[in-house]
């Protein structure tokens, strides 16, 4: 197995590349190395024997070179949380970049192309339990480009005989996760701001379970052509998530509760002004969606098609994540 992982210097991608090396695969990582965490992940993977290629999937020639000889491709490189960026920025990475990878995969006749999509395509406030057949409701440019990219992946699967699988992970967390690190830091210091009541449901999934789903997608013929939700053993409210982190850190209290509605309005204004000034906004709508989301997911298709099920519950996942943060000094 020769595995190419795009976005491999990121959170999920680095875990996939790490597992590939553990399984004895030849691993090529294509990703950015601009941020300290990306540089640290690149160094870790290099020590494990992976080949790290620094660059962007917007470079078609680089994609072809990185994919040379690959038997499997995990495509995770994405423009996701970049606030204040134009639609063209997201489209150049999430659509044009994906097309470059699909073309390279077709030329190399890879055995499996696994595309990492998102549950965000269903919207952030989906009533009831969401399945793969639920209506799509993308709410921002990131989610809209993911919907279009899924169609692109399916087109290559249908028209180019490319064996594709689409995975839609829920809220992924675990060691090296930079997003939840902010919550862990705030809670451990008793200074985390909870905007709103925290009553909306979230469906977390531990990173090791996501990694398992990707490799299952490589092995199961039934997975080809499927779009599959990958979520943890159960959902929780945001407040329950915060309470688990509070208990794990031993903090006396998580912080302070603040009204949500004014922050949603402020985020919209700040994002629009920052876009006009061509600067990164300090707060933006997608960041506030963390406090506003309400969704729960059915994983029966993943169990049936991938022969997969999540192993790590929320309490154990929080414990492992906290242990990793502490070992790295991230909470200091």
CATH of the domain at 27: 3.40.50.720
pLDDT tens for 282-313 read: 776 767 778 878 999 999 999 999 999 999 99
Q: Where are the alpha helices (DSSP H) in the chain?
A: 11-22, 36-47, 60-67, 87-91, 98-108, 141-159, 179-188, 207-219, 238-249, 261-277, 285-292, 300-305, 314-328
Q: How far is CA 193 from CA 196, 230, 239, 249, 308, in A?
A: 9, 29, 11, 16, 36
Please answer whether residues 229 and 131 qualify as being in contact, where contact means their C-beta atoms are separated by less than 8 angstroms.
yes
Q: Tell me which residue has tokens 């492992």.
A: 320
Domain contains 100? yes
Q: How far is CA 134 from CA 34, 137, 138, 160, in A?
A: 37, 9, 12, 28
Please answer whether residues 294 and 200 qualify as being in contact, where contact means their C-beta atoms are separated by less than 8 angstroms.
yes
6 confidence band (pLDDT: 50, 70, 90): very high
Domain contains 263? no
Domain contains 189? no
Please answer whether residues 96 and 146 qualify as being in contact, where contact means their C-beta atoms are separated by less than 8 angstroms.
no
Q: DSSP 3-state assignment of 136?
A: coil
pLDDT tens for 110-143 read: 999 999 999 999 998 777 899 999 999 998 899 9
Domain contains 326? no
pTM (predicted TM-score): 0.93
* Interatomic CA distance for residues 3 and 113, integer angstroms: 10
Residue (of 296, 263, 295, 269) closest to 281 by Cα position? 269
pLDDT of residue 305: 98
Q: Tell me which residue has tokens 């994540």.
A: 321
Higher pLDDT, 191 or 83: 191
pLDDT tens for 155-208 read: 999 999 999 999 999 999 999 999 999 999 999 999 999 989 999 999 999 999
Q: How far is CA 282 from CA 264, 288, 317, in A?
A: 13, 11, 29
Domain contains 166? yes
**Directed axis angle between helix 314-328 and helix 238-249, to 10°?**
50
pLDDT of residue 284: 67
* Interatomic CA distance for residues 309 and 205, integer angstroms: 11
Domain contains 331? no
pLDDT of residue 287: 72
Residue (of 93, 91, 228) closest to 165 by Cα position? 228
Domain contains 120? yes
pLDDT of residue 277: 67
Domains identified in the chain, total number:
1
Residue 100 pLDDT > 70: yes
Q: Which domain holds residue 228?
A: 2-177+203-233+297-315
Residue (of 206, 225, 236, 235) closest to 308 by Cα position? 206
pLDDT of residue 190: 95
Domain contains 96? yes
Handedness of CA 9, 12, 14, 16 (dihedral sign): negative
């Amino acid at each position: 197995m020769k595995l190419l992982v795009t976005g491999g210097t990121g959170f999920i991608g680095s875990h996939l590349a790490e597992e590939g090396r553990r399984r004895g695969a030849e691993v090529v990582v294509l990703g950015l190395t601009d941020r300290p965490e990306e540089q640290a992940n690149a160094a870790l993977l290099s020590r494990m024997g992976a080949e790290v290629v620094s660059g962007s999937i917007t470079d078609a020639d680089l994609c072809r070179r990185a994919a040379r000889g690959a038997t499997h491709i995990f495509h995770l490189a994405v423009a996701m949380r970049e606030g204040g960026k134009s639609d063209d920025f997201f489209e150049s990475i999430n659509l044009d970049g994906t097309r470059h990878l699909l073309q390279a995969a077709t030329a190399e006749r890879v055995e499996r192309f696994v595309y990492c999509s998102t549950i965000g395509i269903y919207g952030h406030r989906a009533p009831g339990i969401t399945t793969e057949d639920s209506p799509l409701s993308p709410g921002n440019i990131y989610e809209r480009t993911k919907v279009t990219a899924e169609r692109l992946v399916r087109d290559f699967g249908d028209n180019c005989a490319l064996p594709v699988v689409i995975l839609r992970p829920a809220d992924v967390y675990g060691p090296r996760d930079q997003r939840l690190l902010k919550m862990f830091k705030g809670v451990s210091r008793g200074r985390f701001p909870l905007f709103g009541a925290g009553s909306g449901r979230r469906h977390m999934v531990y990173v090791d379970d996501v990694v398992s789903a990707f490799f299952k997608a490589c092995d199961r013929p039934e997975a080809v052509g499927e779009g599959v939700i990958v979520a943890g053993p159960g959902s929780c409210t945001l407040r329950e998530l915060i309470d688990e982190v509070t208990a794990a850190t031993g903090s006396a209290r998580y912080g302070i509760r603040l009204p949500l509605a004014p922050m949603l309005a402020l985020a919209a204004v700040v994002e629009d002004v920052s876009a006009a000034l061509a600067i990164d906004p300090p707060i933006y709508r997608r960041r506030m969606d963390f406090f506003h989301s309400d969704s729960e997911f059915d994983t029966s298709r993943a169990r049936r098609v991938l022969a997969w099920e999540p192993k790590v519950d929320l309490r154990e996942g929080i414990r492992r994540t906290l242990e990793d943060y502490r070992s790295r000094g991230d909470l200091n």
